[in-house]
Structure 1
Amino acid sequence: MLTIPRQIFQQKISLQQKLNLFWKWLNMRWNQALQGHAQVAKDGISFDVRKNHYQLIQYIFSGKDNLIPLLSKLVDDKGLFIDIGANIGMISLGVASASNCTVIACEPVKSTFSRLCKNLSLNTNLKIFPFNCALSQSLDLMSITNLDSSGVNQLINTEKPNLQACLSLTLDSLSQIFTTLRVSTIVIKIDVERHEVNVLQGGVGIVLQLERPIAVCFEYFSPENLDEIHQFLTRFNFLPISVDSQGKIILSECKAIDSSNALYGNSHLLKS
């Protein structure tokens, strides 16, 4: 197991010398990753890092991921976090570790799902349950691109070569889990490469109308896409929200929290 070498920055040398040592160390670990994989610890979480895990590598070495601390403020140990498009589990692990909540992690690509399970096996103290499935507007068998451990795989509605079959569930089909676990707050993260509205359509019968605090965080790819999802969610009384410096959930004047992510909540969340 390898941890970030904080001792480099504790040495009595110039800042530039410290940075040079750090980048030499980083290059060494990167070369190891290129040859296979390495286990790295970050914030008490163990990861199996491979050369194509670019988002995870960036998070480990830069610490930059605004979603993990934000989403962790919305859910506690009695809450449920649903990670739709979980990839290799970076967000699931980060939120579960910070909040001790229960997590459902859905990843449809088989090769990526195996990497997700590997990372979960290194952190068995966390309550994360992986599902090898997609989420959409109906229960179905769908096709998805098959880029190993990629964050840009997409569900495809047409027949094309080199696609992989995957099972599609709906948010409403997962609703029995909410009842069984007796969860308080539900936080749903959607990162599905232009399939966001389809995912939300699968929750119109039950989930989006539940009388309990619910937050929806989603990635958008254009202003038009953001407007489309905004119009859909406001039909169910979900509005843009943010979290202030005291950790209080408040209405936001902006539709998005940054250039690629948005956060919405229902009235029950704002009252909680």
Structure 2
Amino acid sequence: MAGPTTAERGERQKQKSGPSRPPRPGRWRRRRMLIILLLAAVLAGGGSIWLLYGSAWLRVERVSVSGARVLTTAQVREAAGVSIGSPLMSLDTDAIEARVRRKLPRIDSVDVVRSWPHGVRLKVTERTPVLTVASGGKFIEVDREGVRFATVSHPPKGVPALELELPRSGGLHRFGTDRLVREAVLVAEAVPAAVARDTRTVKVRSYDSISLELSGGRTVMWGSGEKNGAKAVTLTALMKAAPDARHFDVSVPTSPASSGS
């Protein structure tokens, strides 16, 4: 006896499976909600981009400067080059910082901060001179890192002069002028406060021969820029022990000497 035909088997399968049912209403509602949420996200994202970059609400209206002492706020603003009316979000703060430092060597560091909704704050830190170098009737300021950052007509008050009396010897070629200047800076920074107030000149003849000229014709042989802490303590004690001395030697802090009392 022949089996059921293909058509009969298909008909039986339809009867078993029953008629196709339309999607459930809850599924449609979830799909519709998902579509609405996606559209809302796209609109919100587009609106945010327009608000940050295209609208007139979040644009630069003022540039404030703090921390300037020698420089003027106008000089800092000009170096920053922030355009009034530009979108706050589009500002490249790293580029502004680099531009200020490049155009104004007196600036040691600068922080650029967006001050929403309409401001930019520039907080600068100027270099502080530790020594000055006479050059052509003017004075070059040197900071604590040995950076020669500015030339001024008059030396800043209370800042010692740096004199380089370097012979044409192997010592100069070995260390280089910049290294010797940094050593002089280390010494100037290490001098006790009471002595620093009286220091007029820091003389460098070689790496191991750095001396101080104080007011009243007094001198201090400091030696190299090594063991500065011990030398500072020794010099303070030596000056107290020999207040009338004119010359002090702390180049070897464990064997100090004074003379000319």
Same structural fold, with TM-score higher than 0.5 when normalized by the shorter chain: no
- Larger RCO, structure (CA 8 Å, separation 6 or more): 1
Give the number of the structure whose residues are more often helix, by fraction.
Answer: 2
- TM-score w.r.t. the length of structure 2 is 0.28
- TM-score w.r.t. the length of structure 1 is 0.27
